[in-house]
Structure 1
Amino acid sequence: MKRTALLSLCLLAPACATTPREPVSVAEAYARALDEGRLQDAYALTNGGPEGEVGFLERYSDETVRRERAAAVRAGTAILEARAPSVTLARTDQGWRVVEARPADVPRAALSRFLDTVEARDWKAAWTQLAAPLRARYTPERLREDFEREPLAKERLRRARLALNTHVRVGAGEALFSLGEDRAVVLVLEDGEYRVAALE
């Protein structure tokens, strides 16, 4: 009897509510919180992001911005992927399925995404793909300035793009794309994602 009463209380009490764990459920809960203007609930479902809570609350104080983001999140759930260094799962009509890939494919895809982002001049997204020590040194604006002012930036990007076709040495917590002469593009694992630590 006590157990039933306790279970009933937990079902009714907000304090007993659990965070959704399945990726689509998290995305939907996040979109719903944005739609309903529950910004702190929405923020609690993020990993913090580059701007922190204050910046998040400020950005989504605009209802139009909130609704656009919620719609984009919902649209993305149809092609959602869940990734870790050793496995990627993709959502299909038949449910979640493992994407069969070689270990080197994961860091190779991460480097390719970074290069595409930089070439598209999406500096905020590029900044999020940097390793923590570089994110601490840079802001998205400073990253843009450095790439635009540095005469060798285009050449470094070109070499990194060529390195995508070379052998990738995957070790404990890092992946190295050789550029020859003891130089390499280096990606490191952080929170289950490969991030760029050095372009040469």
Structure 2
Amino acid sequence: MASTPPFRLSLTTLSLAAVLAVTGCAHTPGPREVASAYARALEENRLADALALTNAPPEEQPSFLEHYANASVREARAAEVRAALPELQTRAPALSLIQAKEGWRVVEEASADAPRAVLTRFLDAVGASDWTTAWSLLSEPLRVRYTPERLREDFEREPLAAERVRRARLALKGQARVTGSEAEFPLGKEHGVRLVREAGEYRVAALE
């Protein structure tokens, strides 16, 4: 059974104290400071500080510590966080902001644009054998079930995997059915590629 994967960043009272201690800031840290402090804590193997910067509930904290006990896993996650900083966004169910040169700006997007972009990123990652990125775009139940390595193995062993990816790309060209909590790109009458919204972001839940 795979360890519970990295958790979403979410500032709490404890994490605020941790950021202030790490950064020496006298103000409430913003998203970039929190993300940078999180990456630095992982790089320096300060797992308690890293954990304090997540929204992990008490019952999931042992899995977090177990997952990041591996130095290569910590390094990969820290690099992933740092690489995402230039395109940092903050999201809520009905609101997204992106960091621009002029500061934070509200993102106005067509209802199907966000899930379409996520699905495209997922399929591109699969096509490039970038299993860490592909895994990060899965819904939470699937991220718990899989690791990037196991995801790779399943795609390589599943005879219909290539066909499902091909059909998902075809579905991208059609109209999406979007609700407040999920989006579906139909594949015929009874099947479809389904994405769910988690903490304001779409994640791939099923290819058919």
Task: Tell me the TM-score normalised to structure 1 length.
Answer: 0.74
Q: Name the CA distance, whole Å, in 2 between partners of 1:140 and 1:158.
A: 21
**Distance of aligned partners of 1:56 and 1:89 in 2 relative to their CA distance in 1, 3 Å threshold:** same
1:106–1:43: structure 2 CA closer, same or farther, 3 Å change rule? same
Q: 1:195 aligns with which of 183, 203, 207?
A: 203
Tell me if 1:69 matches 2:94. Answer: no
What is the DSSP-based 3-state SS (H/G/I as helix, E as strand, rest coil) of the residue aligned with 1:26? helix
**Would you say 1:44 and 2:27 are equivalent positions?**
no
8 Å contact from structure 1 (residues 168, 175) kept in 2: yes
Is 1:145 aligned to 2:153, yes or no?
A: yes
State the alpha-carbon separation in 2 of the partners of residues 78 and 166 from structure 1. Answer: 31
Stretches of structure 1 lacking an aligned partner (at least 5 in a row): 1-13
Q: Distance in 1 between matches of 2:178 and 2:73?
A: 43
Q: Does 1:87 align with 2:79?
A: no
Question: Using the alignment, how far apart are the partners of 1:84 and 1:69 within structure 2?
Answer: 24
SS at match of 2:120: helix
Aligned to 1:115: 123
1:58 is matched with 70
TM-score for the superposition, normalised by structure 2: 0.71
CA contact (8 A) 1:83 1:89 kept: yes
Give the aligned residue type for 2:116.
R
Structure 1 position 27 matched with structure 2 position 35: yes
Question: Aligned pair count?
Answer: 182
Compute the RMSD of aligned alpha carbons.
3.3
Which of these two proteins has the greater Rg computed from alpha carbons? 1
Counterpart of 2:162 (choices 137, 154, 162) is 154
Q: Is the 8 A contact 1:43 1:56 kept in 2?
A: no
Task: Give per-residue Cα distances to partners, 1:19-46, cap 9 Å, x unaligned.
Answer: 6552112123224435655332123224
Q: Is contact 2:15-2:52 (8 Å) kept?
A: no
Cα 1:73/1:180, change in 2 over 3 Å: closer
Q: Distance between the aligned counterparts of 2:191 and 2:162, measured in 1? A: 17
2:17 aligns with 17
Percent identical: 55
Deviates more, 1:127-136 or 1:189-198: 127-136
Deviation at 1:150, TM superposition (A): 2.0
Amino acid at match of 1:17: A
Deviations 1:93-137 (A, max 9, x none): 211011221111111111111111211212233223222343344
Could you say which residue in structure 1 is the equivalent of 2:179?
171
Structure 2 unaligned segments of length 5 or more: list them.
Answer: 1-13, 20-27
Measured in 2, the distance between the counterparts of 1:124 and 1:75 equals: 13
> Within 2, Cα distance between the matches of 1:82 and 1:188?
17
When residues 29 and 140 of structure 1 are mapped into structure 2, their CA distance, relative to the original with a 3 A threshold, is closer
8 Å Cα contact 2:192/2:207 also seen in 1: yes
